[in-house]
Amino acid sequence: MKAIKLASVFAVTAVAAAVSTATFAADAIITGEAGVEYVSYGSDQNKLDAADGTNLSELELHVDTGVVYAELEIAGTGTDEDVDIGLEKIYVKQGAVSFGRFDGTVATGSFMGMDEIYDGVDLVTSNDTDNTGVRYKVTPEFTVALEATRPNGTEDSEVGVAASFVKDFGFIKAGISGGAVGDANAVNVGMQTVSGPFTVSLNYGVGEKGATGQTDVEQMTSSVAFAATDALTLTLEYSNDLENEVDGTYFIAAYKAGDLTYYVENYAGDLLDTKVDAGNDGERTIVGVKTVF
């Protein structure tokens, strides 16, 4: 059976199971955030500084029937009243087995700490494996999975494997995760320790991505979170693209007062292929206030 057919079976089975349990009692929770922020770009970015009251706005509907779990996100785009609506997760739970869309891969399960820039080396051919997966939790620490990419142009879906093992040893939490799909592969190692008000995390990832695994990837991310007081938290992430020898930092200072959180964020560096720079916004500083509900 072709990989694309197997991926289709995963998706159809998940939808069928969801429909068959639609009459069950469901717990529905709405979460989100709202506020206002001001973004100032670096002088070399050729971008106008901007104030915005919708860009960070977000509503998420979480539904759990006990058999099916789903997350629907409605997020502001920063353009007047425009919103993006996305079904982030929807998967079926059957004991230790779950299958459907997870919006992520088990291959990055060992990543720890701040993830504004990198969040581990992903499994990516022409597409990632966020959309289709079957996971089996062998133990609370150990998860194995089948994951599939979406078809792209003349490329069929590819079905691969991934696994993650993360254990808390008390003085340190450590893990290893990885996987392979088609010609792409990834291995990630993470560790984290807490000492008083400090939480220190270190991650290393290596792999190959692309339809033929033609692009080598090697990344390192470290972060330190300092709880200065019950209200004030300072967090710094340093990430390094070891393959291309460029790096970057992301800093967040957040102060919580009642229902409101006041924050300052700063991204500096030359990293382009990252979460934080997906819009090619470059170096920038953000000042804002928000509430999370």
Three-class SS state of 286:
strand
Q: Which domain holds residue 53?
A: 3-292
For residue 274, pLDDT beyond 90: no
Which pTM value belongs to this model?
Answer: 0.85
157 pLDDT more than 70: yes
pLDDT score at 273: 62
* Positive or negative torsion for Cα 168, 169, 173, 177: negative
Q: Do residues 162 and 144 lie in contact, with contact meaning Cβ atoms separated by under 8 Å? A: yes
pLDDT of amino acid 210: 86
Dist CA 132 CA 250 (whole Å): 31
Q: pLDDT tens digit string along 51-71?
A: 888 777 899 999 999 999 999
Q: What's the domain count of the chain?
A: 1
Amino acid at 235: T
What pLDDT, in 10s, does the model give residues 83-126? 899 999 999 999 999 999 999 999 999 999 999 999 999 999 88
- pLDDT higher at 233 or 53: 233
What is the rounded average pLDDT of the residues 218-247? 96
Cα 190 to Cα 170: distance, rounded to the nearest angstrom: 15
pLDDT band at 272 (very low <50, low <70, confident <90, very high): low
Q: What is the pLDDT of residue 194?
A: 97
Please tell me the predicted confidence (pLDDT) of residue 122: 93
Q: How far apart are CA 146 and CA 99, in angstroms?
A: 9
Distance CA(225)–CA(250), nearest Å, equals 12
* 153: pLDDT strictly greater than 90: no
pLDDT at 5: 38
CATH value at residue 94: 2.40.160.10
